Amino acid sequence: MKGLISLLLVLVCNISVAVEQAETIFKQHAPSLYQIRLIDKASGEKSSIGSGFQISSDGLIATNYHVISSYARHPEKYRIEFLDHQGKKAHLELKSIDVINDLALVKRDVEQEMPFFTIANSVPTKGEELYSLGNPHDLGMIVVPGTYNGLKKESFNDRIHFTGSVNSGMSGGPVVNKNSDVVGINVATSGNQIGFLVPHDKLLALVKVYNEQNNLTIDQQMEQQLNQYQKNLIGTLLKSNWPLRKLGEGMIPMIDVPFIRCWGESNADKSDALVMLAVANCSLEENTYISGNFFTGALEMEFRYMQAKKLSDVKFYQLFQRQIARVMPGNKAGKDDVTEFQCQHDIVMPENQLINNKAILCTRAYKDFNDLYDVLYLGISIDRDDQAFISHFTLAGVAQNSAQAFTSKFMESVSWK
């Protein structure tokens, strides 16, 4: 009992220490915290909000790219404004972005040197107490204590797993350690007490590039970053092992990297189904937000094995044809962002000669970014009367050579057992 009481006491002390710490940090840094708002010029009202924090004495402010994405894509439609702790509003200028790590640098005019956040130079330790700052749902600046839980493993881009509530509107706000050094930037949430942060080194890198004064426009920066990203991603995938696994009578490649995860489903419980169906679905569970409906950087693979149970081969293939005619891309990008899909098809047999496929490849180009494409592939086996095997993938935002190399490797990997 005594032990329990002392344990409770320790807990209470800890909490009160944390609260005190949070209060100090908040008071100390209030002048360097901002609400970032995008104002629609035509209506004069704010169209989106987020948080930001000053990182230099001359007015450089860091926030998330997705907070100011509408401005980055349509600078003629919006302007960026900040609201500081005293309720003052003023104009901000967009300086630089990192679309992959969801970071942006904006700048305010300053009359004299101002206080700012320092960026940490070391990574926190697992379990370390951190404080997330921001303005959730336009309710005013708050501070949320939480814990550092290391980097998210199933992610191609580094993201800190933060146990604490990160809510919308807090995006772009800093996360600091006890010494008030910035160790991350709020970026996303995955429900109760699970938040994701961009590690501080990404911000350091962006500031470094910004200070080197290269005069690329925002679109050019984006194009360069997307290009570099797809090169890294597809390069990593092609270098990885592609061990084969059985799905029904077919063999499917499982790319051996932690950030591609697979799920499965079948209709084995439905005894009256005309066709036995098993599906495996693998995808990269992250993508790069550009604006509106326009996401890129995604990868998705789907494999379907089908076996006719009480069905003639003619009907089996007829039903099969109806099914594949309904294929849609996951990326719902619109007319302003991409062209319509162009497709080619052929009968293709891989080198091992174990399967004969009808192969369909469709692609569409990005209108604002040179040599980036969305690619959709569909392989349909046509060599067995009562069994069919569909292999399918989509890649978003890849260069032609990456797309072709991936398609080639994928097509050579899928076969019958």
List 141, 350, 389, 415, residue binding other proteins (CB under 8 A): 350
**Are 395 and 375 a contacting pair, CB within 8 Å?**
yes
Q: Rule CB under 8 A: is residue 123 a binding residue for other proteins? A: no
In the shown chain, the binding pattern of residues 368 to 387 toward other proteins, with x for contact by CB under 8 A and - for none, equals ---x-x--x-x-x-xxxx--
Q: Rule CB under 8 A: is residue 412 a binding residue for other proteins? A: yes
Q: Rule CB under 8 A: is residue 320 a binding residue for other proteins? A: yes
User: Shortest Cβ distance from residue 369 to other proteins (Å)?
Assistant: 9
Q: Rule CB under 8 A: is residue 277 a binding residue for other proteins? A: no
Q: Rule CB under 8 A: is residue 397 a binding residue for other proteins? A: no
Q: Rule CB under 8 A: is residue 325 a binding residue for other proteins? A: yes
Residues 6+ apart with CB under 8 A from 53: 29, 32, 33, 34, 61, 62, 63, 116, 117, 133, 172, 173, 174, 182
List 226, 364, 392, 415, residue binding other proteins (CB under 8 A): 364
Q: Rule CB under 8 A: is residue 274 a binding residue for other proteins? A: yes
Region of 100-108, 122-130, 280-288, 331-339 interacting with other proteins (CB under 8 A): 331-339
List 403, 415, 416, 417, residue binding other proteins (CB under 8 A): 403
The crossing angle, in degrees rounded to 10, of helices 400-413 and 218-239 is 20
Task: List the interface residues with other proteins, window 191-220 (CB under 8 A).
Answer: none
Task: List the interface residues with other proteins, window 19-78 (CB under 8 A).
Answer: none
Rounded distance between C-alpha atoms, residue 219 and residue 325, angstroms:
36
Rounded distance between C-alpha atoms, residue 259 and residue 241, angstroms:
14
Q: How many residues make contact with other proteins (CB under 8 A)?
A: 62
Nearer to other proteins, 137 or 315 (CB): 315
Nearer to other proteins, 93 or 341 (CB): 341
User: Shortest Cβ distance from residue 317 to other proteins (Å)?
Assistant: 5
Residues 6+ apart with CB under 8 A from 284: 156, 233, 259, 260, 297, 298, 299, 300
- Phi then psi for residue 310, to 5 deg, are -120, 75
Rounded distance between C-alpha atoms, residue 180 and residue 298, angstroms:
35
129-134-140 Cα angle (round to 5): 130
Q: Quick one: 253 exposed, middle or buried, by C-beta within 10 A (0-12, 13-18, 19+)? A: buried
User: Shortest Cβ distance from residue 278 to other proteins (Å)?
Assistant: 18
**Are 288 and 297 a contacting pair, CB within 8 Å?**
yes
Q: Following DSSP, what letter does each residue of 229-248 receive, concatenated?
A: HHHHHHHHHHHS---EEEET
Catalog residues that contact other proteins under the rule CB under 8 A.
272, 274, 313-322, 324-325, 327-329, 332-335, 338-351, 356, 358-367, 371, 373, 376, 378, 380, 382-385, 400, 403-404, 407-408, 411-412
